[in-house]
Amino acid sequence: MKCLTMIVEADPSVLGRHDMQMGVNHSFLDHSTSVREAAVDLVGKFVLSRPELINKYYEMLSARILDTGVSVRKRVIKILKDICIECPEFPKIPEICVKMIRRVNDEEGIRKLVMEVFQNMWFTPTKDTSLLRKVMHITDVVASSKDIGLEWFEQLLLSLFKPKEDKDDSTKIATEPSKALLLACRQIVDCLIENVLSLEESSDSSGSSQRLVACLITLHLFAKIRPQLLVKHASTLQPYLGLKCQSSGDIQIISSVARMLELVVPLMEHPSDSFLAQLEEDAMKLVLQHDRPIVSSCMSCLGSIINKVTHNFQPIRDCF
């Protein structure tokens, strides 16, 4: 591997040769952890300098994120992070993010590295153009995570907002999140809301409808961990409870909005009577007209608003 590295240092283009790829792949599967790590290191050193090599080595490199050697897994995560940052147009970035996030419950060193990667990649304040691209990546990742669920994203946010040196020690006092983290999350939430509004205008296509669902699911995940971020957007979200329910996407939209409002409305300072009355009316209609997923989320929303804000128990009595 040392000899190969010296050759590649002299001429990185040799990595593009088929026999070289076969040789590297063979080393990726070697019994020795140090050989596998050296092979990963070799690819990582040169793959970014020649973007055409990323496609050639991506599959075999990303498979090593499940390597039995901790040092190999760490090295792969660092290389994949560099690909995300240096080559933001690479089409498999959402897939890379899912692969990395799945390591969030790995051993402690890997877990901390994954948190660090996403804190730097997603949860640091950014400028307008890169912010929109970042938000697109986040919603792409959420949309492509149907098969694995979204506990990983919640776990990620929880680890960032409520860090503990020892995650098994419940006596540790959670510290207040940093201003930079709060600003980054506020930027993401505000950009997601803007996306929701612009997607609503072009919601005639199934692609924009799926993106709308992904945006609202992502907003709900933020609301679960830091509902204060959505307080100023409650009145923007409320009209979505009046959506005509014609597809499974509409069910997800209504359920996500109801779950968000359940968490956010009790934090609002002096919400208007008309806003609260409309909210109760919409939620009650949905409870009476729809099936279990919507009934469940809207009943939770009603319970939160009536018990914590309006104390208007009459509609519930009339309903039951």
Residue that is written with structure tokens 């997800």 in the block: 252
Answer yes or no: are the C-beta atoms of 190 and 229 closer than 8 Å.
no
Task: Specify the pLDDT at position 274.
Answer: 94
Range name among 56-70, 192-206, 265-279 with the lowest pLDDT average: 192-206
Question: How much is the pTM?
Answer: 0.84
Cα(8)–Cα(57) distance, rounded to whole angstroms? 15
pLDDT at 52: 85
Mean pLDDT value across residues 73-87: 93
181 contact partners, CB below 8 Å, separation of at least 6: 119, 123, 160, 161
pLDDT band at residue 233 under the 50/70/90 scheme: very high
SS (H, E, C) the chain: CHHHHHHHHHCHHHHHCHHHHHHHHHHHCCCCHHHHHHHHHHHHHHHCCCCHHHHHHHHHHHHHHHCCCHHHHHHHHHHHHHHHHHCCCCCCHHHHHHHHHHHHHCCHHHHHHHHHHHHHHCCCCCCHHHHHHHHHHHHHHHHCCCCCCCHHHHHHHHHHHCCCCCCCCCCCCCCCCCHHHHHHHHHHHHHHHHHHHHHHHCCCCHHHHHHHHHHHHHHHHHHHHCHHHHHHHHHHHHHHHHCCCCCHHHHHHHHHHHHHHHHHHHHCCCCCHHHHHHHHHHHHHHHHHCCHHHHHHHHHHHHHHHHHHHCCCHHHHHHC
- What pLDDT shows up at residue 169? 55
Alpha carbon distance 81, 93 (integer Å): 9
Work out the average pLDDT over 52-68. Answer: 94
With beta carbons less than 8 A apart as the criterion, state whether 47 and 54 touch: yes
Average pLDDT value over all residues in the chain: 88
Mean per-residue pLDDT for 125-134? 86
Query: What mean pLDDT comes out for the span 276-287?
Result: 92
Structural domain includes residue 62: yes
When pLDDT is averaged across residues 126-147 and rounded to a whole number, the result is: 86
Residue 59 in any domain: the answer is yes
Instruction: Inform me whether the pLDDT recorded for 253 exceeds 70.
Output: yes
The parent domain of residue 22 ranges over 1-91
- Highest average pLDDT, of 152-161, 205-214, 241-250, 257-266, comes from 257-266
The CB density around residue 118, as the number of other CB atoms within 10 Å, is 23
Structural domain contains residue 105? no
85: CATH: 1.25.10
Give pLDDT, residue 208. 64
Contact 69, 36 (CB under 8 A): yes
Q: What is the distance of C-alpha 89 from the center of its chain?
A: 18
Tokens 């959505």 belong to residue: 230
Residue 25 reports pLDDT greater than 90: yes
Residue 149 neighbours by CB under 8 Å, 6+ apart: none
Segment 58-67 shows an average pLDDT of 96
> Can you give the pLDDT at residue 34?
94
Percentage of the chain surpassing pLDDT 90? 56
* Residue 147 binned pLDDT confidence (cut-offs 50, 70, 90): low
Question: How many folded domains does the chain comprise?
Answer: 1
Residue 150 lies in a domain: no
Residue 168 in this model has a pLDDT that exceeds 90: no
Residue 170 has pLDDT above 60, yes or no: no
Residue 312 domain flag = no
d(CA 72, CA 44) in angstroms, rounded, equals 12
pLDDT band at 206 (very low <50, low <70, confident <90, very high): low
Average the pLDDT over 165-182 and give the result: 69
138 is a domain residue: no
Query: Would 43 be classed as within a structural domain?
Result: yes
Q: How confident is the model at residue 128 (pLDDT cuts 50, 70, 90)?
A: confident
Any domain includes 23: yes
Q: What is the dihedral of CA 144, 148, 154, 160, to 10 degrees?
A: -80
The confidence score (pLDDT) of residue 159 equals 82
Determine the pLDDT at residue 203.
59
